[in-house]
Structure 1
Amino acid sequence: MTDFETFHEVVRLHADYAAVVDSHDWDRWPGFFLETCTYRVQPRENHDQGLPLATLSFESRGMLMDRIYGIRDTLFHDPYYQRHVIGLPAVTRVSGAPGKADEVLHVETNYAVFRTKPDQLSEVFNVGRYLDILHRTPDGLKFASRICVFDSEMIPNSLIYPI
């Protein structure tokens, strides 16, 4: 069972993450993750069958920073805004001492991301669930792993920004 303070920290982490990504504050995005981490955007079908193929897959904070470089300097795309709507997290497992440096939380949270291009109506862009492993650090909770399992087998051909 997770205490309210820890639950609130998880909710705050999700809210802060969404605010940073939705505002394109790219310099802050990698800071949500441990140095060695996993960030993956994967179709539900592949995830459920244990298949490794993912739309995006990064294995370190350095790789996340490289993605930011790509977003800013090398990828050409129609600009768009995105807006996250994130459900309440379900802490499915906790190990280590609560509130201590060895605490690890496994969390599942539903999400929906809407995309708006400047000259178009908003549209549902990506819907699914986050499967997170969070580690407690001196700077608060950080993602050791964030797997974004999206429900549709089809995605738009321009998955540029993090989900």
Structure 2
Amino acid sequence: MTIDFQTYFELLNLYSDYAMAVDSADWEKWPDFFVEDGTYRLQPRENFEQGLPLCLLALESRAMIKDRVYGVKETMYHDPYYQRHIVGTPRVISVEGGRDADTIHSEANYVVVRTKYDGESTVFNSGYYRDVIVRTPEGLKLQSRLCIYDTEMIPNSIIYPI
């Protein structure tokens, strides 16, 4: 269950590039981190640990992720804010496909800090990612990203990607 340095470096870049894209509000880049049938879900830790399927948000394809981008940019009215992801070093849980690491199962802790334009920075959300990452001709992509957040208490609502 080991991967070579090059593959791990690609994994680190995937995590950091993802955080930078969503923190810079470059929403059009967000779907590109996923394969066509990739999934993105936000689930409270309590539901995850009890095996309950209920999620706050469940996007079942890159097309649905693109639709969410449209919603964030064009249809949702909200008090705008900046966000900053602090993502821990990913931990490789398992690898399929030998040295080429065709599929990587990994986890990483995250904290999202939210700053309103006229306010303080506060911790908005914390938890961990549970990811399935696949190798594609374009590099590593997310097959699934499950954001397991620590508390069921969400201030206001989650507009931007975690």
TM-score exceeds 0.5 = yes
CA distance in 2, matches of 1:68, 1:7: 29
Residue number in structure 2 paired with 1:69: 70
Q: Is the 8 A contact 1:77 1:158 kept in 2?
A: no
CA distance in 2, matches of 1:42, 1:153: 9
The secondary structure found in structure 2 opposite 1:51 is coil
Shift of the alpha carbon at 1:59?
Answer: 0.3
| Structure 1 residue runs without a partner (length 5+) | none
Q: Is the 8 A contact 1:128 1:149 kept in 2?
A: yes
Please tell me the root mean square deviation across aligned C-alpha atoms, in Å: 0.9
Residue number in structure 1 paired with 2:20: 19
CA distance in 1, matches of 2:25, 2:98: 35
Output aligned runs, 1:9-158, within 5 Å.
9-99=10-100, 103-158=102-157
Over residues 55-92 of structure 1, what are the superposed CA-to-partner deviations in whole Å (9 max), with x where a residue is unaligned? 11100000000001100111000000000000000001
Q: Which runs of 4+ in 1 moved over 2 A?
A: 97-100
Aligned length: 161
Structure 1 range deviating more: 74-83 or 48-57: 48-57
CA distance in 1, matches of 2:100, 2:94: 14
Query: What percent identity do the matched residue pairs reach?
Result: 56
Shift of the alpha carbon at 1:5?
Answer: 1.2
CA distance in 2, matches of 1:77, 1:104: 37
CA distance in 2, matches of 1:4, 1:87: 18
Structure 1 range deviating more: 49-58 or 124-133: 49-58
Q: State the TM-score, normalizing by the size of structure 1.
A: 0.96
CA distance in 1, matches of 2:153, 2:112: 15
Shift of the alpha carbon at 1:96?
Answer: 1.0
Q: Is the 8 A contact 1:91 1:106 kept in 2?
A: yes
Q: Is the 8 A contact 1:44 1:151 kept in 2?
A: yes
Shift of the alpha carbon at 1:152?
Answer: 1.1
| Structure 2 residue runs without a partner (length 5+) | none
CA distance in 2, matches of 1:98, 1:21: 30
Q: Is the 8 A contact 1:30 1:61 kept in 2?
A: yes
Q: Is the 8 A contact 1:46 1:52 kept in 2?
A: yes
Q: State the TM-score, normalizing by the size of structure 2.
A: 0.97
